[in-house]
Amino acid sequence: MTPIRFSPSSLQESRWYEYLIRFALGGAATVFTGLVSSRYGASIGGLFLALPAIFCASATLIEKHELRRKREAGLNGVRRGQEAAALDAAGAALGALGLLVFAIVFWLTVEISISAGFIGASLSWLTVSMAAWYARRKMRSGRRARLSKNTNGSATS
């Protein structure tokens, strides 16, 4: 299993205006969450905290970066760009699931103790996010194995 890792080299590939787009979209999502909270209350507004604030910008920028890398190498790269954006989308969904669990656990435990609520919610977020990532990884591995088995079986028939 490939470990999760951080690669700062990708930060150098972005241009200044791409960071501006991410900042603006993230700010707009935050303002939207604040408006929902002020109109409908913190309980409803808190649900929007799981919104991946910069997802739209990051998905398009990731696809664009992959296309640029492949074109520099003399390849088309359209499929690779789409796959990279899809992988980012899957990660955003798993992260949003973890944040939703964080919000629920914190909401249920904050009246007992703020620090205990925060610690419990953080541990819940970490557990759910890692379990979801692991389950997705296992499902993809199982799907690949079935596809490989079906391909090999039909080729020999």
The tens digit of pLDDT for each residue in 18-30 reads 778 777 877 887 8
- Per residue in 95-115, pLDDT (tens digit) is 888 888 998 999 899 999 999
Cα angle 109, 92, 135; round to 5? 80
User: Could you state, in order of their start, the residue ranges of all structural domains in the chain?
Assistant: 13-156
Cα angle 134, 92, 46; round to 5? 110
Task: Return the closest-CA partner of residue 54 out of 83, 15, 82, 95.
Answer: 95
- Measure the CA–CA gap between 22 and 64, rounded to whole angstroms: 14
Its pTM surpasses 0.85: no
Task: Return the closest-CA partner of residue 87 out of 124, 122, 58.
Answer: 58
Q: What is the mean pLDDT of the chain?
A: 79
Q: Which comes out higher in pLDDT, residue 135 or 155?
A: 135
Cα angle 125, 90, 7; round to 5? 80
Mean pLDDT for 44-70 is 71
pLDDT at 157: 45
pLDDT tier for residue 49 given thresholds of 50, 70 and 90: low
